[in-house]
């Protein structure tokens, strides 16, 4: 499916395209329209050291483009894409290579969070990298019970955090099963980040939560350069425009590459209406 010629048409709402050229064109346009970007070279759970190195090289190429074109962009990477499943040492060498390059051009590597099995290893690695180089952002998921304590820990180390709700299927032994509890936890953690976080990134399309964020920012007089909002490319473009027009920093997460299947499926699962959108596209000639 990933290499089918119909793929571009199906995925274009959420994915910039299959090549770095397409990605760069989309991100430059976003920058021109006032958005920040984070480039995600699609892929996760690679099967060999060579594949992990290819992912690292794809990210190095993305960082070269960011430097050359002076784009307002970070990169977002998953550790399983850099080989975490079969060699922690290799994974560390790969991510270190990206972080040192990002640091040399004054940009960040954002380390996406995957399913709960990976949280300890991911946070350990991010914490080591932050202590040694800076130039990294951690991601925490509000659906996990443990996240409150992770937020406090990372804030103590001044590690920048992207807060999201969480996109993986998790058991009720580790994650809040009810959406309303996830949302309540998100708001609690977000307010803590506004008060104690190092440049927090509020990653959500939830309008009620965004309204709460904005009222808190106003109440506390928090300057617009002390935090950013983040959203996914193609999701709630109306809200995206509104935030930028109101003068807030908004970074869009823009995926590219051929390995779009798991990413795309998570986006469909989040919202049943997306399946109708997909079906319409499948029926078009
Ligand atoms: C920048 C960014 C980075 C992320 N990084 C990670 C990560 O590293 N690890 C991780 O587990 N998850 C990550 N996520 C995904 C996140 O965990 C959620 O699964 C996703 O953002 C949906 O949650 P929500 O906060 O938008 O709230 P929801 O309550 O799910 O959605 C609120 C509203 O947003 C809109 N919406 C949400 N999703 C969609 C969609 N797919 N299509 C159309 N409309 C939609 C709908 O209007 C919905 O009512 C990231 C999300 C963002 C924005």
**Rounded Cα distance, 228 and 91, in Å:** 28
CA of 186 to the centre of ligand 1 (A): 12
Residue list, ligand 1 pocket, CB within 6 Å: 112-113, 139, 141, 164-168, 203-206, 230-232, 235-236, 253, 267, 270-271, 274
Q: 244-278 pLDDT, tens per residue?
A: 999 999 999 999 988 877 788 788 877 777 777 66
Cβ-based neighbours of 121, under 8 Å, separated by 6 or more: 79, 84, 88
Calculate the dihedral angle through the C-alpha atoms of 129, 61, 240, 203, rounding to the nearest 10 degrees.
-20
Residue owning the nearest CA to atom 27 of ligand 1: 206
Q: 168-220 pLDDT, tens per residue?
A: 999 999 999 999 999 999 999 999 999 999 999 999 999 999 999 999 999 99
C-alpha dihedral sign at 271, 277, 283, 285: negative
pTM for the structure as a whole: 0.94
């Amino acid at each position: 499916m990933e290499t089918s010629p119909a793929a571009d048409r199906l995925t274009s709402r959420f994915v910039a395209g299959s090549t770095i050229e397409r990605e760069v064109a989309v991100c430059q346009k976003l920058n021109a329209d006032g958005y920040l970007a984070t480039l995600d070279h699609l892929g996760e759970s690679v099967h060999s050291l060579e594949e992990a190195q290819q992912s690292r090289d794809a990210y190095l190429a993305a960082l070269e483009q960011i430097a050359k074109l002076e784009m307002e962009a970070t990169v977002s990477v998953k550790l399983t894409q850099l080989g975490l499943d079969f060699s922690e040492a290799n994974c560390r060498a790969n991510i270190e290579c990206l972080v040192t390059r990002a640091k040399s051009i004054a940009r960040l590597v954002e380390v996406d969070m995957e399913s709960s099995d990976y949280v300890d290893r991911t946070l350990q690695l991010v914490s080591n990298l932050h202590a040694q180089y800076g130039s990294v952002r951690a991601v925490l998921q509000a659906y996990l019970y443990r996240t409150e304590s992770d937020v406090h820990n990372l804030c103590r180390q001044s590690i920048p955090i992207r807060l999201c709700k969480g996109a993986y299927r998790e058991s009720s032994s580790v994650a809040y099963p009810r959406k309303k509890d996830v949302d309540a936890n998100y708001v609690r953690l977000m307010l803590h980040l506004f008060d104690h976080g190092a440049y927090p990134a509020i990653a959500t399309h939830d309008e009620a939560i965004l309204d709460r964020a904005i009222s808190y920012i106003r109440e506390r007089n928090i300057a617009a350069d002390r935090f950013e909002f983040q959203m996914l490319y193609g999701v709630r473009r109306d809200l995206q425009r509104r935030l930028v027009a109101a003068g807030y920093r908004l970074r869009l997460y823009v995926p590219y590459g051929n390995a779009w299947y798991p990413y795309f499926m998570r986006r469909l699962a989040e919202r049943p209406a997306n399946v109708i959108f997909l079906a319409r596209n499948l029926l078009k000639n």
